[in-house]
A and B are shown apart, each in its own frame.
Chain A
């Protein structure tokens, strides 16, 4: 007999639209040349409002979400990694990078046809893989590449000179883009894109903050399909508009007490990218009535946050909301650099304690019972310091479970063993499986 549902639940109305927007993004990139448009490639963390100044027909392919999409297709992912390894790249490198490189060398695009070659590379550097990834692409595709160094230290220590260091590189980037594309740069389009990105990333944080509600209106498995739109093109109007719509729907779910997991009785958060080919781990949690309400990763990779007057964490107030006029290039670039440097998911590169503090804050404000840390062998950047995070969380009295895996390389993930870990963790939290 099925256990009676504790809360009402219903599908997300915007689910289909999110899927359509994502697919359209990848098709737009592939078809950019049909109407004389431009293509560029870089990280999901690239400051993508900058290339937007080249025109409305400029399309990006951000590497991490693209590789994550391939990771869902385990057969294709394996062939990509085999291709990268055949080329001579080591198996312990970033799995997103290996998957992207493999697709490049196989000349296959996940959404059909040959791999669409970018016209240029525009990339920010926060981890080692980010810099080497696109050096190789630029070399193979013989395309120009630009790298933006954003490693200026944690946001808490930010000062005007550090902002200027990044903003000045953005000025250089604009000159470089004009030179390599032969196009005249349009500051108005760039400023509009900067504003879109600020809207997108602040609003995504607002949406995540709504998940403080009990029951949680969203579960993390669903959130992956929603936050990913910002990893594709956070500076696009379609992205910012979608998050406004989504905010309204999630707010309505909270008001009506609609749960993502009808039997929610335990709340956890995860960490780093999940093993994309095995998202059913999150469904397995639900057999215990446990829901992952998010993570620093889903909240802070594309969400921009601030301390609210009541001490809680919420979406950062945009310069536009503060009444700041953005009329010229330099003002836009400085505000844009400063905005991005406050990204939560960049802070742990400087000190794991900063990440531990944010995780503890999430545990407290989102009323979580425990943390599941994915020791992600596929990402040296986001796994940096993760065992120190474990220690910090444990010292603070937060139950922690670790499991090894890889976001893109299924050879490093053991599904049965991970389920056994979940079983142990749930028992530690005093839970038994719900009646099927």
Chain B
């Protein structure tokens, strides 16, 4: 059986096709990602973009819509996926996906473009508590992106630059607008870019960590979402949370889409 999960993020759409695997000698079902695809909708409306990326991933996998048993959607734009059989929140999808990749995980930190959130999960991948940032981008990926623009660095260079700094510059940023003005002040004070990058990522990590602490940090901890690709942020978050290890999935931005596809499959078994 094949199921699909679509994560309609604010910046990108991620779609995953999941298939059952019969493991020899193991009675239980297992799953593997058959195909995954990401899309920047650009000028497209969300519903049109969802249709297109879904068709694209099916074509890439050599499948037709009727080959897919069920499609579940998640993400901020999940209600725009008209062909989805059901929709679940980012908390439910993220927790399920993270526990699929790392069964020992009990705390999931999800930092995407729009929102950062902390999710407490049980061993089945069902969320038992969650907290997220509200009307503030300072705990989300878009914040780091805006700050990298201010420093005229690519997002990847921004993260790598921060790793070269051992300075701690406190930023009291409560929002992107204020933080940008703080960054400008640091630039005018001839502060090295590396130090500014670390200050920004420390600030993001601090806000994310404060959110996660609301639900309580219980090992193991996984970080999912696009910010996993930012090595500087990962280092800052580890330091802020005081954990020895953060579980980092190989496909961090697809974890919630995988969680969705799993939920779709599990309801059909």
Contacts and interface: CB of A to CB of B under 8 A. Distances in A.
Interface string B102-113: 000000000000
Given A399-B129, A412-B135, A417-B134, A424 B92 contact: yes
B135 to A, nearest CB: 6
Given A390-B214, A412-B135, A414-B135, A424 B91 contact: yes
B131 interface: yes
Interface in B116-162: 126-132, 134-135
Nearest to A394: B129
B88 interface: yes
Contacts of B126: 428
Interface in B56-81: 76
A404 to B, nearest CB: 4
A400 interface: yes
Interface in A145-203: none
B88 A404 contact: no
Contacts of A417: 134-135
B134 A399 contact: no
Interface residues of B, number: 18
Contacts of B76: 420
Contacts of A424: 89-92, 127, 130
Given A400-B129, A414-B134, A424-B130, A394 B216 contact: yes
Contact of B127 (A394, A403, A427): A427
A400 B130 CA distance: 9
Interface in A234-272: none
A355 B76 CA distance: 34
A236 B84 CA distance: 57
Contact of A404 (B128, B134, B214): B134
Given A387-B214, A420-B76, A420-B89, A428 B127 contact: yes
Interface string A384-399: 0001001000100001
A199 B149 CA distance: 64
Contacts of B89: 420, 423-424, 427
**Interface residues on chain A, size class:** 10 to 19
Contacts of A427: 88-89, 91-92, 127
A428 B135 contact: no
Interface in A404-418: 404, 412, 414, 417
Nearest to A403: B134
B75 to A, nearest CB: 10
B128 A402 contact: no
A404 B133 CA distance: 9
A243 to B, nearest CB: 37
A6 B88 CA distance: 25
Interface in B224-267: none
Nearest to A432: B86
A33 B216 CA distance: 58
Interface string B81-101: 000000011111000000000
B91 A402 contact: no
B128 A428 contact: yes
B135 A402 contact: no
A417 B10 CA distance: 13
Given A399-B128, A424-B127, A404 B91 contact: no
Nearest to A430: B126
Contacts of B91: 424, 427-428
A394 B216 CA distance: 10
Contacts of A387: 214
B95 to A, nearest CB: 10
Contacts of A390: 214
Nearest to A390: B214
A423 to B, nearest CB: 5
Contacts of A428: 91-92, 126-130
> Which of B88, B130, B131 has the most A CB atoms < 10 Å from its CB?
B130
Contacts of B92: 424, 427-428
A370 to B, nearest CB: 10
Interface of A: 375, 387, 390, 394, 399-400, 402-404, 412, 414, 417, 420-421, 423-424, 427-428
Given A420-B89, A424-B89, A428-B92, 19 more contacts: A375-B134, A390-B214, A394-B215, A394-B216, A399-B128, A402-B131, A402-B214, A404-B134, A414-B134, A414-B135, A417-B134, A420-B76, A421-B132, A427-B91, A427-B127, A428-B126, A428-B127, A428-B128, A428-B130
| CB-based closest 8 A-B pairs | A404-B134, A424-B89, A424-B91, A427-B92, A423-B89, A428-B127, A427-B89, A414-B135
19 contacts: A394-B129, A394-B215, A400-B129, A402-B214, A403-B134, A404-B134, A404-B135, A414-B134, A417-B135, A420-B89, A424-B90, A424-B91, A424-B127, A424-B130, A427-B88, A427-B92, A428-B126, A428-B127, A428-B128
Interface of B: 76, 88-92, 126-132, 134-135, 214-216
